[in-house]
Chain A
């Protein structure tokens, strides 16, 4: 990796984003709109005594899931566009390293995700009165890490898609199983053993657990730091695998 090339690539991706006002609006507003739906779904649900309200439980998890899903989709398509427009082939004839490109996407979309997560969390805390025992800045931090996980998996999956048409099909393959088994629908320790094993293998499970730890504890717990470490490791692994599957020479 070369810091100058990495910075230029990150800047270029952000400039592309800046020219696309509609995408910016969608990135910022969609999680907020979805949170609004979640709020009104649960607003009249009774809260069991001594437990967090259903909205608090669901909204906290959603703050991690929305950026993950959206960034996965945006990144798969962005990388496919590099491929189909010929810019990827051209980039690979320049001094740019493969990791410069992949980390450039990771950083640029990670920054976009930070804005997205901050707006969504702001709305959740201030307008919908989300309550977490731990700090809101940790929630935003973990949400951004989830977004970067989505970016990294999106970059990896785009290597296996030849067209945008194929790329979007990876969403149900890669994202939905992780959503189903992350502990949102059924607590992880109540699942059958093989489902638990699958859940343990999915990085999103750790991302969600980290958020739940912040929701339930005033101070960052050891479990939370371990989960954050696992997600971070998954991000680096996915990016390195994505670099390994990116071929300079093709037939």
Chain B
């Protein structure tokens, strides 16, 4: 089966700075792929390119067999932005229902999405009155409400309590088992271990693209954090001139 996302030689410049520098990779269907990297490494820019809202300087991004950003894809791709992008002056339920309507779904699906992120009890509350973690879960509900084939989640578990985080990850895996493709960014390494596949980017370059087990084996250590450190150090030798590690 072909991949859900195929990226070839992707280059993105933002504000005169090269943010993504020739990334090529593939994201397999029906799996949870983790996009790992420190803050500022280009994770969000990569995700924006996949959903088709990022101007790219060079390279191609193919999503579900079509160029990223093609109108037909908008029904099939769900996107969670890093900062919760829901209407603060609407209730959780009203937000979910609005995004459901955009995808041609009804009230039942909206209520289900709200329950799925653990906000059933706060459904009638204005988003402005929610905690940060609740707010980002309200945003997550709106990304999942259209039951998309491909879900792009930019740091979905930041600020969530450990029990909820485990619940959310269980949900992501259940979705993947039901043939949904997930691309999830994180800068927390303990989440990397929960992914089926990992993409590690640093300073706009792809450092690793493999399963967690293969990355551990290649680095010769069990701890993913340590494994990434070794990969970065091993890759530092062939970094282009003039690109200083900050």
Contact = CB atoms under 8 A, between A and B. Distances in A.
Interface in A203-219: none
Interface residues of B, number: 33
A250 B55 contact: yes
Contacts of A249: 52-55, 69
B126 A19 contact: yes
B85 A95 contact: no
B119 interface: no
A19 B69 CA distance: 34
B178 interface: no
Interface in B25-68: 51-55
B208 interface: no
B113 interface: no
Interface in B82-128: 83-90, 94, 98-99, 101-104, 126
A16 interface: yes
Contact of B77 (A16, A87, A93, A96): A93
B81 A90 contact: yes
A85 B85 contact: yes
A248 B81 contact: no
B85 A89 contact: yes
B172 interface: no
B242 interface: no
Nearest to B146: A94
B15 interface: yes
Contacts of A90: 79, 81, 85, 142
A248 B74 CA distance: 12
A12 B104 contact: no
Contact of A95 (B54, B79, B102, B142): B102
A251 B53 contact: no
Contacts of B171: none
Contacts of A8: 98, 101-102
Contacts of A85: 85, 87-88
Interface in A7-53: 8-9, 11-12, 15-16, 19-20
B90 A16 contact: yes
A160 B64 CA distance: 34
B131 to A, nearest CB: 17
A4 B69 contact: no
24 contacts: A8-B98, A12-B94, A15-B90, A85-B87, A85-B88, A86-B81, A87-B85, A89-B53, A90-B79, A90-B85, A92-B53, A93-B51, A93-B74, A94-B74, A95-B74, A95-B75, A248-B52, A248-B53, A249-B54, A249-B55, A250-B54, A251-B13, A251-B15, A251-B54
Interface of A: 4-5, 8-9, 11-12, 15-16, 19-20, 85-87, 89-96, 248-251
Q: Across chains A and B, which 9 residue pairs bring their CB atoms closest together, nearest first?
A: A86-B85, A8-B101, A12-B98, A90-B85, A94-B102, A93-B79, A95-B74, A93-B51, A87-B85
